Structure 1
């Protein structure tokens, strides 16, 4: 069955991380994504790149972009493509002879998605960087971590993938919709520093309204509260609690046996959070993770066990939804989100 992006053709100039993630998102949902690799590039995760989940569901061609004949092929592909995505530093595409001016002259309806850390302009635009640097400059990293401890980053999720690849996919699809409604092609300047900043919009809202201290680990959603945190269990594993609303908090106190303790009655008294967190931690250590699951599963406490990467695909809820799939012996996240009328095809790792 055709996916929701059936009929969309995207040229992907191969890179790593956020660019391929964008290509995966588009390809998962039916776009024809042609990944342009360097000749002889076996990929970073096995022969032909076939062990890299980010490169699934693609067509693949090999072109040496330093060769004029290869550049001519890119121009030919661009004539009928809807979009081209790339993750080079600013100016590289222009030096190759396939910058936006050239490509838009060939195809005025082309969307050119440019994935960088610092953006196409600005004092830091030409500099190298990685996820940790982009989220640091956006203010996001400052908010992640425990009180009095150093900032803790979320394994490339905020900069590279959420603020980068997924933002680029949104931008490219939006620009294609603009073209199909009668508009012209254009450049999508996707900078991970911008993406990390916009992912922090809620935090900046709280800060602007005096509901957030500009300090990590002391606020409602950053591990400051005793009812919104992770806790170690008797067997050395972990559980997560998110009992913000009063009715959910009441259930938490009931199931932990703390409902008769008057100290826990003033849920939002921040002056007590550190003390209550310590006492909650003592309670959580009295049972194993599975014992807490037996007590709390099926309730509105807002509870979940902290599962490892190998445990998560086997959880009954995750398994029932098919959140993970397996192809070519690789367990991997299934395409998301889900469309009722145009579901994504099964993932394809083989054939690279």
Structure 2
């Protein structure tokens, strides 16, 4: 974005820009919600106390085969589908609660259910469910995911001498329409 802004400035004013960016700055800027809460609202985030940092059922859960499922079912329709799919229909109300003890109880119930099956079983169960539950994949598994394959996110680069090497593709796509 910085490069684009500099190009636009050059086009509009004839002056170029020096662009300075650091990985630390970029990572820090990813804290937009927690940053606003702290800097503008005076609310410091505590680990596993907020809606998005482990203080709710929005979290990662270990499966029987020691793999992981991510659960991001925050909206009511998704949390209801999650509870129904896990056989925890009676706990739907806890998903909507902001009370820490309700979230803890729901989180423990979800963890117990997810520990009962392997990742592949859960993938099959949640494949047809719109519940915001997805497997945590390794890089090699993700590279074989149909969406990443269709988008060409793994490419082959010529190392010379006829040797090709697989590598991550660029997420930015261009095309005239």
Structure 1 length normalisation: TM-score? 0.44
Alignment deviations for residues 240-270 of structure 1 (CA, whole Å, 9 cap, x no partner): 1100100110000011110134773544322
Partner of 2:36: 205
Q: Name the CA distance, whole Å, in 1 between partners of 2:153 and 2:17.
A: 35
In the alignment, which of 108, 113, 124 is matched to residue 283 of structure 1? 113
Show the 5 A alignment for 1:115-264.
170-207=1-38, 208-209=40-41, 213-226=44-57, 228-261=58-91, 264=94
Whole-Å Cα distance in 2 between the matches of residues 245 and 258 of structure 1? Answer: 16
* Number of aligned residues: 171
In structure 1, the gaps of 5 or more residues are: 1-169, 343-352
Query: Is the alpha carbon distance of 1:302 and 1:262 closer, same or farther for their aligned partners in structure 2, counting shifts above 3 Å?
Result: closer
Q: CA deviation at 1:213?
A: 4.5
Separation of aligned partners in 2, 1:279 and 1:293: 19
Change (3 A) 1:266 1:196: closer
Written as runs of structure 1 = structure 2, the 5 A alignment for 1:1-352 is 170-207=1-38, 208-209=40-41, 213-226=44-57, 228-261=58-91, 264=94, 266-328=96-158, 329-341=164-176
Deviations 1:131-182 (A, max 9, x none): xxxxxxxxxxxxxxxxxxxxxxxxxxxxxxxxxxxxxxx2223112211223
Cα offsets for 1:89-128 (capped at 9, x unmatched):
xxxxxxxxxxxxxxxxxxxxxxxxxxxxxxxxxxxxxxxx
Instruction: Please state how far the C-alpha of 1:223 moved relative to its aligned partner.
Output: 1.8
Secondary structure of the 1:188 match is: coil
Q: CA deviation at 1:305?
A: 0.7
Given that 1:240 and 1:303 are in contact with CA atoms closer than 8 Å, whether structure 2 keeps it comes out as yes
Larger relative helix fraction: 2
